[in-house]
Amino acid sequence: MKKKVLSALLCVSMAATMLVGCGGKTDDAAADAPAAEDTTDAAADTEEPAAEDTTDAADDSAAATDADLTTDKTFCLIVKSAGNPYNQKEADGFKEAIEAQGGTFVLQEPAAADAESQITCINNAISQGVDAIAIAANDADALQPALTEAKNAGIHVLALDSATNAASREVFCNQAGITQVGETLMEAVKDISGGEGKWAILSAASTATNQNAWIDSMKSVMEDSAYSGLELVGVYYGDDEYQKSVDQTDAILSENPDVKVICAPTTVGIMAAAKVVEDKGLAGQVKVTGLGLPSEMADYIGADDSHSCPYMFLWNPIDLGKLAGYTSIALVNGVITGAEGDSFTAPDGTAYEVTAASDGGTEIILGPPYGFNPDNIEEWKSVY
Ligand code: RAM
């Protein structure tokens, strides 16, 4: 297993190098991140897709000017739940974008990562008379009546991070392609396990659109015979709450003593799982991977048997928040309607294009996920 992990580290390191270099969408700190020198070679050596869309959109970016995204309106962000550092970073980016363009930022933080708490927030935003609501949905369908009410009140509605159903939004700001995330995570599970044995998923809320889409994507990747040696023992839900995620990790370990890999496509879950595995002295037998914040995971990432996480992935949540902020203004200003083929240019010069999403609605993709490993985690842990 060790050898496999090492070879994966090299691959992921190269992929991360290239992704760091794919430019335009990282904030200044991210752009300063290490290892960008190897960009050309790494790009040639990896098959990482998805960057082309951005280039095409940039080439086509015709009419948009800075003035198109200037605003004096009010923009509400509804995150998945309070108390999750990932959501705070998303909110930081959204706020920065809105305020830089002259708008007013309003944050609504649901008490729990569920639909009911978000419906209360939507109703509050309607009463406040905001001009747009950007929401990271805890449930694709359950928010539809409240969001339809918002729409009928003349409020623009978009999703970010975790989609509402297509009928409830004008567009979805998606952090990365669903298939790409599914393939990346499944490849990591295969690599870290050596291609055989038991693995488990530790997810967030059972209704979370983004986690469920990634899990479905992983399951379809796993149908390929290359993954036939792997047995998924179950999907556990920690609801993006730290203690619940700890408890669910305990359950995974006690119900499956021979589990080899826990894959957590949630920043809350991966940190809880990584800590539990190390605290129990199991990091030599059980490895953790998934989607994590470098700032929270730095202590757990390492190639040896005292560290539980050999490598993991994420995108820049601050940039995702910024993208949603700019997209909100573009919708309110009528620069875009959210229809496939629409495009706008952000104030930093990055062009974004609206494309078809797999649920029948539309989306704007931020970019590919980055890989974090022992070689680059030190530089990234202070970025987000
Ligand atoms: C958690 C949330 C969020 C997801 C990240 C990876 O913080 O569930 O929606 O995008 O993890």
Place of tokens 């090492």: 6
177 Cα–ligand 1 center, Å: 15
Give the closest residue (by CA) to ligand 1 atom 4.
266
Place of tokens 């055989």: 196
In ligand 1, the atom with minimum distance to the C-alpha of 204 is: 8
Instruction: Give residue ranges with CB within 6 A of ligand 1.
Output: 80, 84, 86, 136, 161-162, 204, 208, 210, 240, 266-268, 291
80 Cα–ligand 1 center, Å: 8
Lowest-confidence region among 56-65, 143-152, 347-356: 56-65
The Cα 36–Cα 238 span in angstroms is 36
CATH fold, domain 3-40+55-175+317-367, is Rossmann fold (3.40.50)
317 Cα–ligand 1 center, Å: 9
**Cα torsion at 299, 203, 322, 350 (round to 10°)?**
90
Residue type at 75 in one-letter notation: F
Query: Can 3-40+55-175+317-367 and 178-314 be said to share one CATH topology?
Result: yes
Res. 152: pLDDT tops 50: yes
Res. 59: pLDDT tops 50: no
Domain ranges of the chain: 3-40+55-175+317-367, 178-314
Instruction: Copy the structure tokens of residue 119.
Output: 């419906």
The Cα 142–Cα 164 span in angstroms is 9
pTM given for the model: 0.85
Q: Spell out the CATH class of 178-314.
A: alpha beta
Backbone angles phi, psi at 311, to 5 degrees: -170, 165
pLDDT tens sequence across 1-33: 333 333 333 333 333 333 332 223 233 333 333
The Cα 81–Cα 339 span in angstroms is 29
In ligand 1, the atom with minimum distance to the C-alpha of 317 is: 10
pLDDT tens sequence across 162-201: 999 999 999 999 999 999 999 999 999 999 999 999 999 9
DSSP string, 316-367: -HHHHHHHHHHHHHHHHTTS--S-TT-EEE-TTS-EEE-EE-TTSSEEEE--
Kind of pairing between the strands at 355-356 and 197-203: unpaired
Res. 367: pLDDT tops 70: yes
